[in-house]
Amino acid sequence: MGNLFASRERDNYTEKDFGEEIRESMSEYAMYVAYDRSVPCIIDGLKPVQRRSVYASWNMGQRPNGKTSKCAKLVGEVMGNFHPHGDGSIYESIVKLTSPTTARYNLFFERQGNFGDAPMGDSAAAPRYTETKINEVGALFLAQHESLPYAPNYDGSQQEPVYLCPAFPAFLLNESVGIGTGISGSNPGHTLVDICNTTEHLLNNPQASDEELFQIIKGPEYPIGGNLMDFDTNRAALRNIYTRGRGTLYFEATWRLEPSDDPAWKVRLVVDSFCPGMTIYSFTEGYLNTLVKQGLIGFKDDSAGSDNVCISLYANSNNTLINNVIPQLRSFHRSYNMTAVDLIKVIDQETGEERFEERLITATLKYAIGRWYKFRSNLLTDHFTSMIWSLNQDLWKAEVRYRLTTEAGLIDMIRASSTPEELDHVLREIMGLNEEQAAYVLRIRLGTLIKMNSGTIQEEIDAINHKINLSEYNRSNLKEYIIEELREVRTKYGDSRRTTLFQQQPMPEREEVNYLLTVKEMDNSLVINDSWPANGVGLTKTRNAVVAHDRVVLATYDGNMIESTAESLVSFGPWYAAGVATEKDDIMVIVDDNNKVDYRWIPEDFSRKLRLTPRDGTLIHATGITSTDQGVIINLNGNAWSFLSRTNLEKYAVNKVGKFWSYQQDKKTYATQVIRVSAMDDIVDALGQPISFDHGDDDLISNGKVFVVSDTNMVVLKSGRISYMDRTAVFSRWENIVEIFPLGNKQLKK
């Protein structure tokens, strides 16, 4: 029995290496996905679902001058007859070919219903609520559809075109991105003016150099505009795309600087167009809202209901635009790999029938135009040959009718024939007609024969002969005819460019401003505002506040010391700090997570972060002091305040770079806060009265609340609002103040 089963198993399977089977199966599947789903054709620039949608629309009887149909009906036609891969992908492709913000040249009309708003992130309504039809540009793809090669659809019930071939190289028309299994492709879109001009020049000058073509094709074009950034790498990448089929381009939005029309803000930047990769929704609802909450900017979006972008951005300094806004409008990129499906005509050796084999290629500009020209020439040759044959059929019919009206007695003999034999004798022997011509005469009604006018028929014959001669001429001069087609397309559908190339964008001049740096009490996050004074937005419950113009040194929450500039901190982050030293500060005084006061010298310049705490300690509070400062006051046990002089700090210092020094405290005493004290600062108690102590030595100065008041101060009022006051204003409004953050004893730039 065992041998019987073994024999049956050997008869019913073939041994094959598992890895080899996977490789073959996946390779076949990948090629199927590429050819039938994801990669556009070099001839018409369409993926199969797009081609089938356009053809199905035409096949349903839709025309540019006709009425619209429900998108659900079109989707059903496409899925049921040509593309059985799900209605979702079909409807999505129709919407993209309809929306003016996703396709540079739409192939369908956006007529009725909600087709969404791609820039705002809104998707289209369900297909049962929307209607569309093919438009004039889409109709160009089917202008000579009767001469296109056809093949059976997926179930053999109908025929569908193998490709479409409009009067221009459609592969260059709209941007296309296709991702398959192990294979992907993408190609940029262009204006019809550039496409037609470049194609005409290449047809007239087959040996044209790449440089000549670059001057005409110019560069990519996108429906939402944008600007191809002006630097050498971009120019080289653009050349690679057209000569090698691969390259990465960097884009930016376009903007202009305008006088502010809002008295609450000083400067205004207006965004006129976005670049590929940007949407109004992601820009305004994401990043801009964060800046608005920080009080850095305001914005107004006037883009709603329009295909154009119009966003006004407001700030109180040019630096806000330079540091926070403009970087979000730049350096978007597109990587192109112009992979396409090419078709090779072959003859089936068994049946003798013509068919097309598919292959994947990486197209260049010249190759794309060359392949389109070859297929367009073949299509027009077949079209004119068919037209000439049809016209010749019309010609001999007209000539037969002309003989009947001009040769005396023919109609009478036909009427007098009483038997089929007599009639056949008149038509075949007397008139000399062949069988097809005789059958045609018999189909003409007698009344029609009598009413025929020789003059009208002669005009018809002349018109047919003219059409035949013109068709024969066009068939013999295809290049001239194709160039004339290109000119007609350019004249009728060409429009101005939306995407600018290598344009220098207006940049606001950088200002020397005061950067207000505050540390939030809740999470130690650092807030940098370059529009000082900052109107108090988001600055409540502040642990620390300083004003800087240029260099800053952060005492980060995790125990490091980092050198930067205030401007750089605006652009990069987020930061979490215990305090900040500015400009000429040379000692950083810190309170660590053990509530111990430490300090270290700040090098004049350092390129790497330095540790402020041993091991993995964190920081609670920190401040920097200069050589002219008197020292710091230290909050002890949450209430008492002690003074640590600058003289003693320097006395304790032994090594200025690599060692820590500690302010020796009683074991029962712990520190929570340090505040710098300059020679001109007032140190006062909770009643605003000066505190007297020895500034030359360490000393316990108070067991109650202590405030430091400078020439300029940020204060927290009892109402919770933030205000900025000089020394006089602080003491005059003392009863309304909860907290004081001294900002320095120098004139701040306004």
Unique residue bearing structure tokens 């500034």:
695
The DSSP output letter for 125 is P
Task: Indicate the SS3 state at residue 42.
Answer: coil
User: Is pLDDT at 655 greater than 50 in this prediction?
Assistant: no
From the list 219, 144, 200, 208, the residue with the least C-alpha distance to 486 is: 200
User: Is pLDDT at 535 greater than 70 in this prediction?
Assistant: no
Instruction: Annotate 176-202 with DSSP letters as a single string.
Output: EEEE-SS-EEEE----HHHHHHHHHHH
Among 266-270, 405-409, 493-497, 746-750, which stretch is predicted with the lowest mean pLDDT? Answer: 746-750
Q: What are residue 345's DSSP bridge partners?
A: 356
Tell me how far apart the alpha carbons of residues 247 and 198 are, in angstroms, rounded to a whole number.
20
User: Is pLDDT at 4 greater than 70 in this prediction?
Assistant: no
What sign does the dihedral 195-198-204-207 (CA atoms) show? negative
**Beta carbons of 605 and 570 less than 8 angstroms apart:** no
Strand order in the sheet with 526-529: 526-529, 515-520, 542-548
Q: What is the pLDDT of residues 598-651, one digit of tens each?
A: 888 888 888 788 888 877 788 989 999 998 888 888 888 777 888 888 887 777
Q: What is the pLDDT of residues 479-512, one digit of tens each?
A: 999 999 999 999 999 999 999 999 998 999 887 7
Q: What are residue 684's DSSP bridge partners?
A: 690, 707
Confidence band, pLDDT 50/70/90 cuts, at residue 394: very high
What sign does the dihedral 670-675-679-681 (CA atoms) show? negative
For residue 403, with 0-12 CB atoms within 10 Å meaning exposed, 13-18 middle and 19 or more buried, which class applies?
A: middle
Q: What is the pLDDT of residues 362-371, one digit of tens each?
A: 889 999 999 9
For the chain, the maximum distance between any two Cα atoms, rounded to a whole number of angstroms, is 145
What integer pLDDT is reported at residue 642 of this predicted model? 86
β 577-582/551-556 pair status: antiparallel
Tell me how far apart the alpha carbons of residues 587 and 602 are, in angstroms, rounded to a whole number.
5
The DSSP output letter for 44 is T
What integer pLDDT is reported at residue 499 of this predicted model? 92
| Of 574 and 501, the one with more pLDDT | 501
Tell me how far apart the alpha carbons of residues 13 and 7 are, in angstroms, rounded to a whole number.
11
Go through the domains of the chain in sequence order and give each one's CATH number: 47-163 (3.90.199.10), 374-493 (1.10.268.10), 559-648 (no CATH), 657-684+705-722 (no CATH)
The mean pLDDT of 572-591, rounded to a whole number, is 86
**Beta carbons of 493 and 137 less than 8 angstroms apart:** yes
Task: Indicate the SS3 state at residue 532.
Answer: coil
| Of 54 and 358, the one with more pLDDT | 54
Q: How far is CA 740 from CA 442, 542, 588, 596, 728, in A?
A: 112, 10, 21, 24, 13
Token pair recorded at residue 698: 């360490």
Contacts of 112 (CB under 8 A, 6+ apart): 68, 130, 131, 132
Q: How many other C-beta atoms lie within 10 A of the C-beta of residue 434?
A: 11
What does pTM read for this prediction?
Answer: 0.73
Unique residue bearing structure tokens 């556009």:
40
Token pair recorded at residue 187: 């190609």
User: Is pLDDT at 360 greater than 50 in this prediction?
Assistant: yes
Among 92-101, 241-250, 395-404, 654-663, which stretch is predicted with the lowest mean pLDDT? Answer: 654-663
User: Is pLDDT at 349 greater than 90 in this prediction?
Assistant: no
Q: How far is CA 297 from CA 261, 287, 315, 405, in A?
A: 14, 11, 5, 87
What sign does the dihedral 658-659-660-661 (CA atoms) show? negative
User: Is pLDDT at 263 greater than 50 in this prediction?
Assistant: yes
What integer pLDDT is reported at residue 196 of this predicted model? 96
| Of 743 and 17, the one with more pLDDT | 743
What integer pLDDT is reported at residue 301 of this predicted model? 81
Which ranges in 434-592 belong to alpha helices (H)? 435-443, 446-451, 454-476, 478-493, 566-571
User: Is pLDDT at 38 greater than 80 in this prediction?
Assistant: no
Q: What is the pLDDT of residues 460-481, one digit of tens each?
A: 999 999 999 999 999 999 999 9
Q: What is the pLDDT of residues 135-190, one digit of tens each?
A: 999 999 998 989 998 988 888 899 999 889 999 999 999 988 777 666 677 888 99
Token pair recorded at residue 18: 């598992």
From the list 291, 267, 255, 723, the residue with the least C-alpha distance to 511 is: 267
Tell me how far apart the alpha carbons of residues 274 and 225 are, in angstroms, rounded to a whole number.
6
Which residues does the annotation mark as catalytic?
129
Token pair recorded at residue 462: 């002349």
Mean pLDDT of the chain: 83
| Of 410 and 105, the one with more pLDDT | 105
Beta-strand ranges (E) seen in 549-670 are 551-556, 560-565, 577-582, 587-592, 597-601, 610-611, 619-625, 629-636, 640-645, 661-662
Tell me how far apart the alpha carbons of residues 162 and 574 are, in angstroms, rounded to a whole number.
55
What integer pLDDT is reported at residue 656 of this predicted model? 46
